[in-house]
Structure 1
Amino acid sequence: MLEVSLLSVRTLAPVYTVAGIGLIAVTVLARRRLWWLLGGAVLGAAVGALLSWWVGDVLNLVDVSPSWVDRFWVSAVLAGFGVAIAAAIRGRWLVRLVAGISVIVFALAGGLAINRDAGFYPTVADAIGLSHVKPIALPAVTSGSTAFRPDLASSWQAPSDLPEKGRYGSIKIPGLVSKFAARRAIVYLPPAALIKNPPKLPVLIALSGQGPGAAPANVIEAGRLVSRLNTIAKANRGLTPIVVIPDQLSRPTNNPMCVNGRLGNSSTYLSVDVVNWIHKKLNAQTGRQALAISGFSQGGTCAIQLGAEFPQKFGSLIDVSGQLGPVLDSGQDTVKLGFAGDKAAYERAQPLNILDRNRPYKHSNAFFAVGQDDSRYGPDMPVVSQAAREAGMDVTTLIVPDSGHDWATAGIGLQAGITWIMPRVGLANPTPEA
């Protein structure tokens, strides 16, 4: 049950079907009060639209403007509530019973639809705060040079025992230096990392966003990163970077903003503890060119923060739908809670200031992507990407068409970013565009 997907059509279709049957049943049973039912539906839909606007746009309680899918389902659910309430008023006991059950099903159907759009809780385990990703047994670290190999794609000969797909699983990466209380990370090993004598490979750190249900597993489930990585590996004879997805949050509703402070020493955890663990536990290449950092939403903001702050560690970065800079949710004092009231420390953590402080970047690569319909963070991407370009980074940008601030954008953006990064980390032959 823990592994049941809350994003799959197979799970959602039965709930939608029951909700539809419930709406029809209520309407049939109370058909003599049809105008009441119609009025309840219109009033409920109007309240839903107003609620979406007030909570999402005015109060900004979820830190991103609701998508049209979210707005539709909130209005649809409350329209269903309106029909059920109108039918139950002065209705017989059977009508009230069916209406009551229908309200529950309507709420469930709407919640699942909104969850599917946002990708908050990919599985039942995620919804109740449990990790369902099985532990991974890492291959032994082999001897040999760990130096960056820009010509690996040219010299690589795929062996006969090359697996068709990569393997992933969860593992603990302790915060030995930072003391950061991170949840279990996820590691993806491409087919080339699973052979008897694997080559040393570059590594990509990938970060989830922050919000309800946020966890490393979001990247592989809502973002479908494993299947996307397997597609890239198939096109490149089993080669992709090893991907490490650590927890930069500690818990879903916590946002340390990838700095060191009262909310957790997230910066040191990612730039020191995770990096040290990678070089100790994986068959990984060393050197800045062999290590990249990426992320979606808050994770994308972390990617530009850390990639710009530590160019000696991260040679490339992928920022998908990141913010202009680290910030807490609406209603919270970012400077007070995240920076102990130190406005100067807050300013130092802003990507634009980091880029200006550390320029020029002579050998750093940056990929930025954002959804075409992302009205909240979409305007930030050209500002940050242009600042990175002016600071000397080799910059590429992508606008994902017909997409907002969601995991569809994240998955497409990360896949495009990893494809873009392949020749830059020696895993694909360079093209004129690269």
Structure 2
Amino acid sequence: MTDLMSLSLIDGLLPVAILTLGAAALILLGIAGRKLGVRRVLIFVLVAAGSTGLLFLLAEVIFLWWNSSFPRLLYLYWALGILGIQLAFALAVRRRTPLAGRVAGIAAALIVLLAVACTVNLAYAQYPTVRSLVNPPSATDDPLPRPAAVDATLPAASERTWVPPSDMPGEGRVYRAEIPAAASKYKSATALIYLPPAYLADPGAVNLPVLVLIHGQPGSPNDWLISGRIAEMMDDFASRHAGLAPVVVMPDASNDSNPNWPLCMDTSVSASATYLARDLPAWIQQQLGVGTAGPQQWAVAGYSYGGTCAVQLAANFPDAYPTFVDISGENEPTDSEGHQALLDTYFGGDGKAFAEQNAVDRFGRMPFPGLAGKIVVGREDTVYGPEGRQVYEAARAAGVDVQLQELPGGHSWLVWRAGLENNLDWLGARLGILDP
């Protein structure tokens, strides 16, 4: 069972087998469908094409459920799935179809749907393994442990100075927490907090650094836990560095599922920037006793919407986040209905108010010599890739110590997870855990 649970859903034999079976099932349904007559099968094809066109219209013209980064090939798979369902249903209700044929047709339709789901997962790598789908990791509701010490004068633990106790846990833990909004009054859903083995040791490491991770849209902090496998990633890092790793805080960036998601800016919708850059650090320092040695212990990172947020926060609050990782972010916050709609919704139509907080505009107005970051783009990401390069050029011109990294893949977790994991050693050095 363990080997089955660890099977990959994004590469290897299992997805190949699912897609092969799906194709075979659709072919068999097509062959059996000859009994229905050419005219009826043609109608099914037209219905499949029409429903696909309707989905496109609803999703990309009327309701704007997703943007142009959505893989267009998935529409074809949707059409094939609809065709398979129609054929299976028509064969199942046909009087002359024997019971075994009806069961086989329904089974074939289910296999086709499984293959369609597999293509979606391959596009985004949302569920990397069988375990992540059927038994995903979850956070504990246990109370957060009290810190070893809350004293900003104590030297921060580092690989050079930290000596782990013999009974230090082998793994970190992920906790749920409600992080209040004392200054911003921001409405937030539950956050997730990863505490590394060194923090959980007795006595624990003193004053570890903090990495704030922002999720995408749509999404939640759980995406970092399930699709990003953040606990596994940080445990692997800690195992190489005497149990040391940053405390990872994954806040809710949706304003508790506000229909108008905040932009990691302070707007008429919510003061999300103040929440993320002021309320959150203050609470983390007080409650967990980490990140108290200074801004050099703090970093922010994110993917897609969260990557845009990471740059926004670093450019507007370099005293809070002098280190950032932008993975597949945009060149500026956007609204699905256009830039003017964004200005109207968030800034009362005031373009200058937007530009005052927009990272690329800020990079054009002032230097940022103390800021350092990584901008990661997917090689096949034709939408966010060019925008990430624009952010890189603007940041470099502003004196930011920035590096552009290109990884194989599109707008998916294949890039988002690797974009963080590949930069953990750099983050560890920036944050003071590792020697620079």
Identity of aligned residues (%): 30
- Asked whether the 8 Å contact 1:52–1:74 carries over to 2, the reply is no
- Asked whether the 8 Å contact 2:151–2:289 carries over to 1, the reply is no
TM-score w.r.t. length of structure 2: 0.81
Counterpart in 1 of 2:379?
372
Residue 336 (1) aligns with residue 358 (2) = no
Counterpart in 1 of 2:161?
155
* Distance in 1 (alpha carbons) for counterparts of 2:239 and 2:67: 37
**What is the deviation of 1:73?**
2.8
Residue 32 (1) aligns with residue 39 (2) = no
Counterpart in 2 of 1:327?
334
Amino acid at match of 1:343: G
Q: 1:381 aligns with which of 357, 382, 388?
A: 388
Residue 194 (1) aligns with residue 200 (2) = yes
* Distance in 2 (alpha carbons) for counterparts of 1:193 and 1:324: 36
Where do residues 82-161 of structure 1 align in structure 2 (5 Å cutoff)?
83-84=87-88, 87=91, 92=96, 106-107=112-113, 110-111=116-117, 113-114=119-120, 117-118=123-124, 133-143=139-149, 145-146=151-152, 152-161=158-167
**What is the deviation of 1:417?**
2.7
Counterpart in 2 of 1:268?
274
**What is the deviation of 1:31?**
4.8
Q: Does the C-alpha gap of structure 1 residues 74 and 51 become closer, same or farther in structure 2, counting only changes over 3 Å?
A: farther
Residue 303 (1) aligns with residue 310 (2) = yes
SS at match of 1:370: strand
Residue 65 (1) aligns with residue 72 (2) = no
Counterpart in 1 of 2:82?
78
Q: 1:170 aligns with which of 173, 176, 195?
A: 176
Which stretches in structure 2 are left out of the alignment for 5+ residues? none
Counterpart in 2 of 1:231?
236
- Asked whether the 8 Å contact 2:139–2:175 carries over to 1, the reply is yes
Amino acid at match of 1:32: K
Residue 390 (1) aligns with residue 406 (2) = no
* Distance in 1 (alpha carbons) for counterparts of 2:407 and 2:259: 27
Where do residues 194-273 of structure 1 align in structure 2 (5 Å cutoff)?
194-198=200-204, 199-211=206-218, 214-249=219-254, 250-251=256-257, 254-273=260-279
* Distance in 2 (alpha carbons) for counterparts of 1:121 and 1:253: 26
**What is the deviation of 1:350?**
1.9
TM-score w.r.t. length of structure 1: 0.81
Q: Does the C-alpha gap of structure 1 residues 319 and 231 become closer, same or farther in structure 2, counting only changes over 3 Å?
A: same
Amino acid at match of 2:233: R
Counterpart in 1 of 2:425?
419
- Asked whether the 8 Å contact 1:169–1:187 carries over to 2, the reply is yes
* Distance in 2 (alpha carbons) for counterparts of 1:14 and 1:253: 40
Q: Does the C-alpha gap of structure 1 residues 40 and 103 become closer, same or farther in structure 2, counting only changes over 3 Å?
A: farther
Which stretches in structure 1 are left out of the alignment for 5+ residues? none
Residue 407 (1) aligns with residue 413 (2) = yes
Number of matched residues? 416
